[in-house]
Homo-oligomer: A and B are copies of this chain.
Amino acid sequence: MTTEISVEEMEAARNRTSSLIHNTPIMKSEKIDDKVGAKVLFKCEHLQKTGSFKARGALNSAILAKEQNAKGVIAHSSGNHGQALAWAAQKVGLPCTIVVPKNAPNSKVEGMKEYNADVVFCEPTMSSRESTCAEMAEKLGYYYVDPHNCGSIVFEVLEQAGDEIDSIFLSVGGGGFAASVAFLIGNLRPDIEVYLVEPEEKNLANLLENGIQCASETLNTIADGVRVAHVGSLCEPILKKYCTRTVVSVKEEEIRDALKLIWTRTKQRIEPTAALAFAGVLYHKPDHVKKALVILCGGNVDTDYVIN
């Protein structure tokens, strides 16, 4: 698979996948607008296939793998990417294996199995995930699939609300999704600002401005989708170019408040990682931002999850 990034390839990915991907709705809430003091548009990726934006990239990769006559596809994941790839592989008719750290939530593992993926457990460390995955890929002759190329969301957002927004707020973890969005917006609509919202321990601004990495490997945050502390090496220069001044750090209690507000006001059962992006708007929106689009990245949360 290519690791280049170009508007053309992202457009091709969008065209390749659009018939099987939901064009997710945008929601609004007067009460939330009043509270924030600005217009807020919510892009509902928790209503995407498999409950997160990851379905976009996983489907693109599965289709390409199929075209290249792969025997199957494989990934390591404790959550949304694994479910997305399992679904995508089933859609294109390829076998799929997901390497899962053995402490992964049971509901997510069940989700993968429902789409007929073979689940292989490993130790809950990145090195065990990577080595087990590489070994299995070799043995099975499957294509390895990274979370990758979910940029089709940008074309959709611009069609749905391009005239209504001055900014996009998204939660940043490994940086692949953030880099895709920042790159496309930077090329197609440079007047729109892209804000990267992070748990404060990550301190991405210190990396982008001063080259200093976060000391931890893993962040201690309720936003389980962005616990990986470091952004990928391919993403870093893109984020540096487009988002050095637009990193927003939030506290854990701000994520919880944002989650409560969305659950109670919009009745959307999003996951904490999606609330992280909204917390950036709710507590740290710069004054000049008047029309913010918040990407609600996913809704895969256990039925017994409560906000502590």
Among residues 285 to 308 in chain A, which have CB atoms less than 8 Å away from a CB atom of chain B? 299, 303-304, 306-307
Per assembly, the copies of the chain total 2
| Residues of chain B contacted by A206 (CB below 8 angstroms) | none
Q: Is the Cβ of A260 less than 8 Å from the Cβ of B306?
A: no
Measured between alpha carbons, how far is A267 from B274 in the docked complex, in Å?
A: 13
Q: Which of B107, B260, B264, B299 contacts A267 (CB under 8 A)?
A: B299
How far does the alpha carbon of A25 sit from the alpha carbon of B27 in the complex, in Å? 11
CB distance from A275 to the nearest CB of B (A): 12
Residue from B260, B267, B270 in contact with A46 in the complex, judged by beta carbons closer than 8 Å: B267
A268 / chain B contacts, CB cutoff of 8 Å: 267-269
The answer to whether A47 has its CB under 8 Å from any CB of chain B is yes
A173 within 8 A of B: no
Q: Which among B25, B46, B304 is the interface contact of A306 at CB below 8 angstroms?
A: B304
B107→A303 contact, CB < 8 A: no
Query: Given A306-B306, A307-B304, is A51 in contact with B263 using a C-beta cutoff of 8 Å?
Result: no
- CB contacts (< 8 Å) of A263 on chain B: these are 269, 303
Report which of B47, B270, B299, B307 forms a contact with A303, defined as CB distance below 8 A: B307
Interface residues of A (CB under 8 A from B): 25, 46-47, 51, 107, 260, 263-264, 266-270, 299, 303-304, 306-307
Q: Sorted from nearest, which 3 A-B pairs have the closest CB atoms? A: A267-B299, A269-B269, A267-B269
